[in-house]
Amino acid sequence: MTRTVALWLALCVAVLAACSDDTPALDGGARDQRAEGAASDATPPDAITPDTTSPPAARCAAGSRAGAAGSTDGHQTATGLGYNVRTPPGYDPTVGHPLIVVFAGAGGSAGTMEPYTGLTNPALAAGYIIAYADHVSPLSYKGVEDLATIPGDIAATWCVDKARIYLTGHSDGGSVIYIGLFRGYFAATPPAAIAPSAAGINAAVLANAPCPAPPLPVMVLHASNDTLFPGFGREALAFWNACYQCSVTTTADLQGCVRQSGCGPGADVRFCETDGGHGGWPAKNDAMLAFFGQHRR
């Protein structure tokens, strides 16, 4: 292990200790999200439909994927961690579908994250398989490692295009993405893009974190009035900008986020700073799906 990674891991111990109580029960956040972002459940525009034409979609051998179409709950990892799976209309078990995995924040579960985010309807309409994972309490390296097996478990049961796996999550769920990424837990099914929301990862933790290679497209979502993790989103943005040599100038997009300019080859860094506090899911579902739809490994 390099000294840089070792230093980062040491700093992460403090983050794990602090994160397990970071998020209030998600019911309140769900009410906030429905009030602020109910339009996110509308059928999304054609622009956010994942590209399935170039290169050709992945295929699965007939009979090789036994996962049921529709909504199925109560799936478990090898260690008993729960997750729920939703497949799009017309799901074909021989055609690779893009996959989104959503990680729950503290106090949340696979069951509460679905209404809290409002992601299911727009994701399914755009052709994604979407899964919601339980929170691990207290958050630990072992727990994050277990969560990181979920994309592979799903790909073994449903027909997933492994070049189009995407990760999002709120608070602890966002932190899971960072920790799993930097510790190599997602190596078996590396994401094509990530969108951590309200993650409890700040500049002190990121100071010695390794930059993912090849460049990983990232959309950082964080509320401007997050008093639990104040300013952490901008600190994460600074990390990604430094990783990929992005310039300080930005370009606004139609969804109210900003795209960093001048990034190195293969890099795409977005920043969505939303109103409200820590407890609300950002009303940026269409922006997130549009971002995911532009990237594959």
**The domain spanning residue 221 has which CATH number?**
3.40.50.1820
234, part of any domain: yes
93, part of any domain: yes
Q: Show the 3-state SS of the chain.
A: CCHHHHHHHHHHHHHHHHHCCCCCCHHHHHHHHHHHHHHHHCCCCHHHCCCCCCCCCCECCCCCCCCCCCEEEEEECCCCCEEEEECCCCCCCCECEEEEEEECCCCCCHHHHHHHHCCHHHHHHCCCEEEEECCCCCCCHHHHHHHCCHHHHHHHHCCEEEEEEEEEEECHHHHHHHHHHHCCCCCCCCCCEEEEECCCCCHHHHCCCCCCCCCCCEEEEEECCCCCCCCHHHHHHHHHHHHCCCCCCEEECCCCCEEECCCCCCCCEEEEEECCCCCCCCCCHHHHHHHHHCCCC
Q: Is this model's pTM higher than 0.75 or not? A: yes
Query: Across the chain, what does the average pLDDT equal?
Result: 85
Phi then psi for residue 193, to 5 deg, are -165, 155
CA distances from 35 to 41, 45, 79, 118 (A): 12, 21, 37, 11
CA distances from 5 to 1, 11, 182, 207, 237 (A): 7, 10, 8, 10, 20
123, part of any domain: yes
Q: How far apart are CA 203 and CA 184, in angstroms?
A: 20
Strand order in the sheet with 97-103: 71-76, 82-86, 129-133, 97-103, 160-170, 193-197, 218-223, 269-274, 258-260, 250-252
Contact 144, 136 (CB under 8 A): yes
Is omega for the bond preceding 93 within 30 degrees of 0, making it cis? no
> pLDDT tens string for the chain (297 positions)?
443 344 344 445 445 544 544 433 323 333 233 333 333 333 333 344 554 445 677 999 999 999 999 999 999 999 999 999 999 999 999 999 999 999 999 999 999 999 999 999 999 999 999 999 999 999 999 999 999 999 999 999 999 999 999 999 999 999 999 999 999 999 999 999 999 999 999 999 999 999 999 999 999 999 999 999 999 999 999 999 999 999 877 777 757 799 999 999 999 999 999 988 999 999 999 999 999 999 999
Tell me the β-bridge partners of 168. Answer: 102, 195
Domain membership of residue 246 as a residue range: 74-293
pLDDT at 55: 67
Sign of CA dihedral 260, 261, 263, 267: positive
Structural domains counted in the chain: 1
How would you classify residue 271: left for phi > 0, otherwise alpha for psi between -120 and 50, otherwise beta?
beta
206, part of any domain: yes
227, part of any domain: yes
30, part of any domain: no
62, part of any domain: no
Q: How far apart are CA 230 and CA 224, in angstroms?
A: 8
At 150, the amino acid letter reads I
289, part of any domain: yes
Largest separation between any pair of C-alpha atoms in the chain? 51
| Alpha carbon 239 to chain centroid, angstroms | 17
**CA Rg, the chain, in Å?**
18
| Alpha carbon 13 to chain centroid, angstroms | 21
First to last CA, the chain: 26
pLDDT at 54: 56
